[in-house]
Structure 1
């Protein structure tokens, strides 16, 4: 194993510690994060990063075998790399090792294969359910929804809190 660079100005993260560094860099030991139930039945996630200023969040997304996802709407693009398993929908079957960019503004209902699926996904803007009229409906699963869910599961310590919480914590510490 490589030794840390000796002249670093930062405290080095341990082998099991996810850590935000003063320069804004982030190291996530994803194996130490618990799985958090996600917005769709049969799914769970590990929130890796969030960028509130542009509405992007990245996750590991695990989906149970033979799951028919509900119709859902993408407000922005979703970039997915299949780490394990497969899923299928109007574009065909997406297999392990495939990368797909799902366009923003679309609705769809992927079906997960018999081995389930593990994805690395970057969501741009989030998703929601779809109403009977085919338009977005229900909760919007965005950066803040993801952060609150991960926080409630003890899986958000490596991520910055929402700006007002961060500001309030700084003010309290200064008193």
Structure 2
């Protein structure tokens, strides 16, 4: 048994001995987790945007992502996108749903009449094609994205130019972490 699990079990036993059993809400779950369940991901300070800058993977000049989850078995990823320039970032078509939460700055899609600001939530349905723009007045845009499936970069007429998915994100992260001295296996902490 790992030291962390032993500590939890010791606390449960101590609570039981001290009479906490009279209040079942204060007793930890007593059975093992399901066989084959993957471990949790716990990232302390995940929204510390000024922390270790080596964790930000350069995607393009002035465009970075920080992986939080790279789920290769279910085909999704969660990352924080940081853009440090104004202008058109990309035009792409999604094959699965996307959830976004703006943390800093602003951004919009040419195809919509809204602009996302800090604190705004956006749902993007599967099949949607849009052109991401960071406005001139935004010195930086930081948004948490949960992307299911992949997307295809397209030209204005929808002709495919490239693609991105959890596997391309993982490859980019492995190369980046190796180059900055964290080692390519550092990316595995995000894989489930």
Q: Equivalent of 1:68, from 61, 70, 88?
A: 88
Hey, what's the Cα distance between the residues in 1 that align with 2:86 and 2:156?
A: 24
Matched, 1:52 2:72: yes
Structure 1 residue runs without a partner (length 5+): 10-21, 162-175
SS of 1:26's equivalent in the other structure is: coil
The match for 1:96 is 118
For residues 23-62 of structure 1, the aligned pairs below 5 Å read 24-29=39-44, 30=46, 31-32=51-52, 34-38=55-59, 41-62=61-82
Contact 1:61–1:120 (Cα < 8 Å) also in 2: yes
Task: Give, in angstroms, the shift of residue 70 of structure 1.
Answer: 2.5
For residues 72-91 of structure 1, the aligned pairs below 5 Å read 72-89=92-109, 90-91=112-113
Hey, what's the Cα distance between the residues in 1 that align with 2:171 and 2:39?
A: 21
For residues 111-150 of structure 1, the aligned pairs below 5 Å read 111-113=133-135, 114-115=137-138, 116-131=140-155, 133-135=157-159, 137-150=160-173
Instruction: Flag the structure with higher strand content.
Output: 1
Q: Over the residues paired in the alignment, what is the CA RMSD in angstroms?
A: 2.5
Structure 2 residue runs without a partner (length 5+): 10-36, 178-185
TM-score scaled by structure 2? Answer: 0.65
The match for 2:8 is 8
Task: Give, in angstroms, the shift of residue 23 of structure 1.
Answer: 5.1
Hey, what's the Cα distance between the residues in 2 that align with 1:6 and 1:84?
A: 40
- Compared CA separation, residues 132 and 81, structure 1 to 2 (3 A): closer
Task: Give, in angstroms, the shift of residue 37 of structure 1.
Answer: 1.5
Contact 2:107–2:132 (Cα < 8 Å) also in 1: yes
Task: Give, in angstroms, the shift of residue 145 of structure 1.
Answer: 0.4
Say how many residue pairs are matched.
144
TM-score scaled by structure 1? Answer: 0.71
Hey, what's the Cα distance between the residues in 2 that align with 1:23 and 1:108?
A: 34
